[in-house]
Structure 1
């Protein structure tokens, strides 16, 4: 099973990322609802930060009792949890993710950009 896919930064990439992570989650006997939700948010953020000629790398794999989801994009902009006002339509994704996962974070990549990861428990 290939844990990694490379996607073009376009809206269709979000569905491809969800399908990929769901397949891996199922093979590892994880319910796929939360992994799909998490990768949707991370891949959407990566798509929004990417230039048209960039790429997005999505990886999911087991680690201890967790499923780790990683999304790499070529932007150096580090994501932060936002606390939008009640009338704002966006900006809540990482706040929601932080409440649903064991842990999440980001790390720079030597080739440029960053990886945003989330660990999901069973």
Structure 2
């Protein structure tokens, strides 16, 4: 049996001091937007089912969509879906070799992804209101 050697490693438990690169932020947000989209699918299917159930159900769904809070949630869902889609296209372009897998290209494509999502998020806000 080998000896266990204790190594003195620095431990940083203060997460506010860690500066993530833009590519890491893009990756984390892609995962988060995927979870949001998955959960939102249930909400959207419920709302669709309600609206298609009967004329009264359609009126109920329309009434639900009049609330500012629901419009805000719907805007968030559309923004998450937009980011997940744009981020997914970015990943596919890298996987198929259309984008080089370098730090410079990764950083720039993540920034472009954020920019496209901002534009789509504004359009989603206009659509929801």
| TM-score, normalised relative to structure 2 | 0.29
Structure with higher helix content: 2
| TM-score, normalised relative to structure 1 | 0.30
Higher relative contact order (CA 8 A, sep 6+): 2
Larger-gyration structure (1/2): 2
Structure with higher strand content: 1
